[in-house]
Amino acid sequence: MFQIGPYTFDSQVILAPMAGITDRPFRHLCRELGAGLVVSEVVTADSTLWTSRKSQLRLDHQGEAEPIAVQIAGGDAQMMAEAARLNVDNGAQIIDINMGCPAKKVCKKAAGSALLKDEQLVAEILHAVVNAVAVPVTLKFRTGWSLEARNALQVARIAEDAGVSALALHGRTRACAFRGKAEYDTIAAVVQSVAIPVFCNGDIDSPTKAQEVLHYTGAQAVMIGRAAQGRPWIFREIDHYLRTGEHLPEPSLTEIRDILCSHLRELYGFYGEFMGPRIARKHVSWYLQTLTGSKAFRVQFNRIENAEEQHASVQHFFERLITNEEIAA
């Protein structure tokens, strides 16, 4: 259990924000499968860009389970404050600030993890956003700008002083990008140095790893990104293991088919007949990557442009696998 402002979360497993992936359908699915908190894809602080279809879809929280957590990115304190206000007006109940991913420059200013180099600016942005909204503000960041400039402890204290309600920390520096292994010593040190909840992020891909990392760092929750791609049931697996010390059985082929087919339906509904099938391709590829015959299937699947045809073809793929499994049993 952990707390962000007035919100209490029963599951210690959080879905990391991932641009292009953690859209409304995926967030819904992860929540249903055991994620305590899910965070939206990043939205630029420059609200003049919000009229694009991409931004409109990112700002759409219709029917979303509460609390709705929206991530914003930008390098200008007043713009970030205004973006936070507008998002709260639009339904956000938690504002998450992105200083964790190598986001592109916004308005010729650094944004995302590039901000970590300038602690004064970090403080200005955090104070401005916290003062602009009545909802809790969280910060997602990396351990520093580079291995030589690892300032997570300073940034964490700045955030706590500014009134930030929780921290999500990815155990890599900006310069590391996704190379090497995430390190958890800095996360453990941050947990020791602040009183607000800290969520541990980076390379957590199994129930046992989640438990080890929670134990090692003393963090309040784990945040899962890439390991949830094509495997959204990882949230219930980790949640169950943390509660009971026992592993849940792997989902059956029938269940994977049902989860994927319902995910596809949500994607078609959300993105429409043209974009839906295109967005679906990467998800299907992740779901199937360990299944027999998926490589050949994907080649022909990626040529399908029609939603109904895509859906039927996934069902057919699974029917064949399920029948083969029954014959073998």
Q: What are the residue numbers of the active site?
A: 101
Closest CA to 112 of 30, 20, 24, 17: 17
Query: Is residue 114 part of the contact set for ligand FMN (CB under 6 A)?
Result: no
Query: Is residue 276 part of the contact set for ligand FMN (CB under 6 A)?
Result: no
CB of 21 or CB of 128, closer to ligand FMN: 21
- Taking residue 150's Cβ as centre, other Cβ atoms within 10 Å add up to 18
Q: Give the x-and-dash track for 21-40 against ligand FMN (CB under 6 A).
A: x-------------------
The amino acid occupying position 16 is A
Cβ pair 80, 107 in contact under 8 A: no
The conformation of residue 96, written as its DSSP 8-state character, comes to: E
Closest CA to 111 of 84, 75, 151, 76: 75
Residues 197-226 that bind ligand FMN (CB under 6 A): 201-204, 224-226
Residue selected from 11, 44, 47, 71 as contacting ligand FMN according to rule CB under 6 A: 71
- Taking residue 179's Cβ as centre, other Cβ atoms within 10 Å add up to 7
Nearest to ligand FMN by Cβ — which residue?
Answer: 225
Residue selected from 3, 5, 19, 206 as contacting ligand FMN according to rule CB under 6 A: 19
Contacts of 296 (CB under 8 A, 6+ apart): none
Query: Is residue 170 part of the contact set for ligand FMN (CB under 6 A)?
Result: yes
Query: Is residue 101 part of the contact set for ligand FMN (CB under 6 A)?
Result: yes
Distance CA 58, CA 91 (A): 12
Beta strands in 21-157 (DSSP E): 37-38, 43-44, 69-73, 94-99, 137-142
Query: Is residue 115 part of the contact set for ligand FMN (CB under 6 A)?
Result: no
CB of 67 or CB of 202, closer to ligand FMN: 202
Binding site for ligand FMN (CB under 6 A): 16-21, 41-42, 71, 98, 100-101, 140, 170, 201-204, 224-227
